Structure 1
């Protein structure tokens, strides 16, 4: 089979086929997690990123290359979630920038587009690591350059590029020791390979059902069995919009499907109040009546306790999210829009959200967004505490960035599989203490794992230990652990707070 050019119609089919293939493999990709913790989300993040663009493509009627390129680039940029999703969106951005002004794409143009895609993605990452999605993308681009001198047949070209991408993916464990020790290949690289393989299927004319969980074809919609389940949620106080969204996210984890509408009835008074959060209703941008203040805050966290702590410390708007719930670039932009301030500091509080926040800062036009690169919840709390309302934007940025570097963070969660990390043998259901730079402790007993983690974190300079308890713990257990910490380290101040976070039974900071 020989194909020498690709028009907008075929490219649209190829893109949607790549999206479909990625979506079908997302759970498998989620399981390619270096650490055996219950938070694998690379497949989900990449799928939601590409589906944002796929939705935009599906809405086009007979697109030309320019409109198709815009839909792919803009849709993926705004829908990007997690580091892998942001990198994928940047690959699409660079690729479409090259092809958008052409009616058809041939091999020389494909070669140029592959090269631009890789350049754009590498620029988006401050410290690129080899053995990741970037490495797989660069290998594919290098093979594209080689094949551009050997053939005019796009099918032959594509087969060689995909084979090189797969071969490079298989070698990622040799580039990143943590991958080899965990016995997995890079999950982001696997996601990219699945996009390429799906696009190839459409290129050679393979029949592909473009209907996905996130995208429905405008015609011939498949029959779907729907079930309505009703139950009562008794609320002691009115719920804010972010709390409703967070509750919905928790319910979706328990449901065998998608929660499309959530209705909450408040029953603590004679009146009955209904509040509803529907997917098809977009919250309108607020119309501020007061002059904008100089500085404001948007922060990301999950759990009622943590949300309350951030709010009490002066955060203007909370985005529910964190591990397994990475907000998109568009989510962050929408939150910033709701803050009546000229400059908005964004606290990602998770290393997998920082790139999406940076992307929001680059896109935002009407306000200045400054991302404080907080990688953990304790760093975010420290940043807020370090803020001075009477200081300048620049001084606050410098002070917050400096102070978060002094925070040590530990998190306790359970293992979902047997593995070996940092030469420590881990069994399924063991408790693990995770530090800023890796695994600190492993034990079948949660208290032992917690206390061994604390021993690794505390130093002669330590003064305060803050414990935030969440899913898998309670106030009494947290207090008992705090007492044991004080018993061993009587000179430390120990603070205990309810976090309410999912996934991690305890989040701890040592300062």
Structure 2
């Protein structure tokens, strides 16, 4: 390597004649190699950008419990945000989920009345995607909304269809009292089992199975066709099957489905449609 190839040739001639002489400009070769590498990197980056093409629709759901999270993914949800009665996701959490989904339209299922405002704020702060907040107040409503999404509908049509589906499902939860209290005129002792509807405490009892059956009986009417029982960490599949058998004994035309939810605190989430 030399900066003066002429001098190198003159020196070499003092030792004899030269044959097959070849001179390369290493600076130019290095420059060309840098340009080539930069071009290849740019090409690769463009190919990667093409792979992440925007799809038409994306979905975000708030959920709790591994079984329910898996169910939402099976229904087509892209991003599931962990949340619950004691752990509400923030606007920032929802914005982060929106960013992750390469879709023109994003549908958000808060699945909790306390999270709807945060979802609306995330919608207002998003400028590059059309965000649609479906005002789901619980898990069964979120599932009903996803089931009623129709591929091929306009975003406005889907928002309307998904929102209308919420009124078709009644939701309930079965949990336990952590302290003595009086609510809605009902005296409740610590450890009592409570059957909750969308609006109030419907049943107070001492047995999980019996309380769940009594709650479902209150929720059912002559138009009811389908009951779904989601058993959580505190519930069991065996008890869920006992509940299903009891309901089928009351109404042999009622269809009862059992799903693993895995939710903490609540023995069961139930829905009546």
TM-score, structure 2 normalization: 0.80
The answer as to whether partners of 1:434 and 1:440 remain within 8 angstroms in 2 is yes
Q: What does 1:172-187 correspond to in 2, within 5 Å? A: none
Using the TM superposition, give the Cα deviation of residue 287 of structure 1 relative to its aligned residue in structure 2, in angstroms.
6.4
Partner of 1:356 in structure 2?
A: 118
- Give the match's secondary structure for 1:366: coil
**Does the 8 Å contact 1:373/1:401 carry over to 2?**
yes
Aligned with residue 220 of structure 2, among 433, 458, 463: 458
Q: Is contact 1:288-1:340 (8 Å) kept?
A: no
State the partner residue of 2:39.
none
Which residue in the other structure is 2:143 paired with?
Answer: 381
Among 151, 154, 158, which residue is 1:396 paired with? 158
Q: Structure 1: 5+ residue runs without aligned partners?
A: 1-285
C-alpha separation in 1, matches of 2:101 and 2:166: 23
Task: Tell me the distance in 1 between the aligned counterparts of 2:76 and 2:156.
Answer: 19
Aligned-partner Cα distance in 2 for 1:501–1:404 = 21
- RMSD of aligned residue pairs (Cα, Å): 1.3
- Match runs of 1:209-220 below 5 Å: none
Match of 2:33 in 1: none
What do the CA deviations read for 1:146-197 (whole angstroms, capped 9, x no partner)?
A: xxxxxxxxxxxxxxxxxxxxxxxxxxxxxxxxxxxxxxxxxxxxxxxxxxxx
* 1:384–1:288 distance in 2 versus 1, CA, 3 Å: farther
The correspondence of residues 40-51 of structure 1 with structure 2, limited to 5 A, is: none
Q: Given the alignment, which residue of 246, 249, 257 partners 1:495?
A: 257
Q: Deviations over 1:280-332 (max 9, x none)?
A: xxxxxx96723211211000101111011111111111111122121110000
The whole-number CA distance in structure 2 between the counterparts of 1:303 and 1:499 is: 6
Q: Distance in 2 between matches of 1:393 and 1:367?
A: 12
Aligned match of 1:310:
72
Gapped regions of structure 2 (runs ≥ 5): 1-47
Judging changes above 3 Å, is the alpha-carbon distance between structure 1 residues 367 and 288 closer, same or farther for their aligned structure 2 residues?
farther
How many matched pairs? 226
Q: Deviations over 1:9-67 (max 9, x none)?
A: xxxxxxxxxxxxxxxxxxxxxxxxxxxxxxxxxxxxxxxxxxxxxxxxxxxxxxxxxxx
Match of 2:106 among 341, 344, 347: 344
Q: Would the aligned equivalents of 2:209 and 2:242 in 1 still touch at CA under 8 Å?
A: no
1:90-105 matched pairs, under 5 angstroms:
none
- Please state which structure has a larger fraction of its residues in helix: 1
Contact residue 323 and residue 503 of structure 1 kept, 8 A = no
Higher relative contact order (CA 8 A, sep 6+): 2
Relative to the length of structure 1, the TM-score reads 0.43
